Structures are given as C-alpha cells and as structure tokens.
Amino acid sequence: MRAVCLLICLVLPAFTQTDALPKAPTDVKPGSITYDDVPYPHPVSYLPLTLYGQDVRMAYMDVPPTGTPNGRTVMLFHGMNFGGFYLAGPIDVLRKEGFRIVVPDQIGFGRSSKPIIPYNFHDMALNSRKLLQSLGVSKAAIVGHSMGGMLAARFAASYPDITERAVLYDPIGLTDVRFGRPWRSADEAYKAAMAQTNDQRYQGFYANIHRYFPSPGAWKPEYEQYVRILYAPTLGGDWPRLAMVRAIYQQITYLDPVVYDWPNIKVKTLVLGGEKDGQDFPSLAKHIADTIPGAELVIIPNAGHVPHLEVPDVFYRELLKFLK
C-alpha cells in the first residue's frame, strides 16, 4: 500500500539526496485545529452528533446547482490530509452540471470537532448517512478521494439503498497491510510527532504533498498552500490534541481495511486514478475494479494522486462521463 500522510515522515522517495527540503517559513501564524482560519469555497454548516459519549459537530457544505437542476446529489469525501476546502474545483464543475453537492468534513478533520475517539470507516459512513438524512437526501452518488475512496467503498457496501453510484478516486488502502508491517501504537506516533522541530514538521508535510505530483514539472508553487495549512495548527496551543487525533486516525488503514468491502459493492462503480500514484497503482486499481462486480476502470496517464488539480480537464471529463 502506498504511504499515507504520516506526521513522522521526513524522507520520501520523491526527493533525491540533492533535493533541499525548505525550512519552515517564519510568516505562518498559529492556526486553529478546526481550520477556522482556512477559507472554504462555500458556506459551512454543522450537524450535531454524539460519538462515544462526546457531543461533536460535523462540518459540511451543502451547495445548490447553478446549472439547470438535474434532481441528483453528489456527496464528496475528502482525503486524510484535508477537509472539504480542496474540493472547490469538483464542487463548481458538478454544480454547473445541475448536481447538488454535499461535502462533509469527517469528524477529526477540517472544520469538524477533534475528539479523541477510535476512528473507523463504519462511524464515518454512518455519520455521512445521518447528514444526508438530515438534509432530506434519499439517494446520492458517492465520490471519495484518497482515504475518502476507502470511505466511499465502505459507504457503498453498507448503504446500497442510498448509494446511486460510487467513484473510488485515487483510493489508498489498496491492500490489507496488517500482516506486512508491524503495529505502531498511537502513543508512539504521538510522542514522535511532539518531538519534532518546526522544520521537521514542515518538511514532512512538504515532502508528503510534493509526492502527490511525481511527474516532472507537475509541482506548482501554489501547492505549497496545502503544506502551510497542515503546518499552521502545529504552532498553536491545541496542537497536542490534534497530534493525538492524527496518531489515532492514521491507524485506520491498518485497523479497518476495505479490501473485503469491494466484492460487496453492488452499485455501479468507477475506479479512477493517476497512472503515477505509486509504483503499483495501475495494477492495484485494476484489481479493485476486477473485484467490484461490473466496475469500470480509468487510469489517467502521467497523473499523480490529485488529478483534479494536476490534469483537471481529463479528470472532469472522465468523472462527468460516468456520473451522467
């Protein structure tokens, strides 16, 4: 399985020994762990929930169509590094085609609450279902990116009556890794994160985001904004809480694999991703598509982990072709 966002990750194959990772910039101000200072492309609302005895709020965007309404809804699931803010492009493209768009920040991510709880895809899927019910949406197409691709698989397998169709977009969790690498406790990961210097934290985030764009010339200076978004909360007083939350939810690909969900997805499904999103992504993505009954597979040439930023024209063409 490809590496996911790890706070302790300081050296990644995307960089050679001659590459110089930038030091932490001095103009980044301490950021909120609920991303209150991060601009979102549309108004954010909150759904109150109770999880493990804790009252929490699930942030979400509910965006109406700008084109002629087609009566259909798309729910977008974000990846592990992000909240819904980086999905502005897909939101705008889909709403122009008449779709209503619902974009939750899963609990523990983005503008949602950051409780210290056991994170798993069952709870995330159920919370997302509750959100759709609260909005009066009885059926939706589910599009999940990265970790959201794992969640989309769990949602589609668990709630086929609500899922109109599913898109697993550059998903992680492509194999069951439990017997391929040793277990690392949340406490170990937390202590390692807290022991890092500011430079080490920034460089780890930078290397991880840079890895998403492996093709020569694909990296753009504006992508560093995502590094700064990840880094800013580490400078604030609530960083220890977020560090522990991250340490817990980064275990999710180990504790809660979705490889066994794939055969149980009965809705029409597209597996979509970049050719260079990890060395084995094309073959592993084909395995997913072969495992899901009747699934389609589209591999985007020369693209990495976030094609909607890197090659938007190709990505939107394939996404709309499937959804429409």
pLDDT at 14: 45
Over residues 74-103, the pLDDT tens digits come to 999 999 999 999 999 999 999 999 999 999
pLDDT at 19: 59
Predicted confidence band of residue 279 (pLDDT cuts 50, 70, 90): confident
- Residues 52-64 have a mean pLDDT of 98
Q: Which of 19-23, 157-161, 195-199 has the lowest mean pLDDT?
A: 19-23
Predicted confidence band of residue 11 (pLDDT cuts 50, 70, 90): very low
Handedness of CA 40, 44, 50, 54 (dihedral sign): positive
Over residues 161-210, the pLDDT tens digits come to 999 999 999 999 999 999 888 999 999 999 999 999 999 999 999 999 99
Does the pLDDT value for residue 6 go beyond 80?
no
Prediction pTM value: 0.94
Handedness of CA 286, 261, 85, 69 (dihedral sign): positive
**Residue % of the chain over a pLDDT of 90:** 92
Does the pLDDT value for residue 72 go beyond 60?
yes
Q: Which domains occur in the chain, in start order?
A: 45-323 (3.40.50.1820)
Buried b or exposed e, range 228-250, using 16+ CB within 10 angstroms? bbbbbbbeeeebeebbbbbbbbb
CA distance 62 to 60: 7
Q: What Cα–Cα distance (Å) separates residue 159 from each residue in 134, 185, 253, 265?
A: 16, 31, 21, 9
Does the pLDDT value for residue 251 go beyond 70?
yes
Query: 271 pairs with which residues across the strands?
Result: 168, 297
Contact call for residues 162 and 140 (beta carbons, < 8 A): yes
CA distance 248 to 242: 10
- List own/partner pairs for 190-199 with CB under 8 A and 24 or more apart: 190/243, 190/244, 190/247, 192/7, 192/8, 193/7, 193/8, 193/243, 193/246, 193/247, 194/240, 194/243, 196/7, 196/8, 198/24, 198/234, 198/235, 199/23, 199/24
Query: Whole-number mean pLDDT of the chain?
Result: 94
- Residues 255-283 have a mean pLDDT of 97
Tokens coding 20: 């110089």
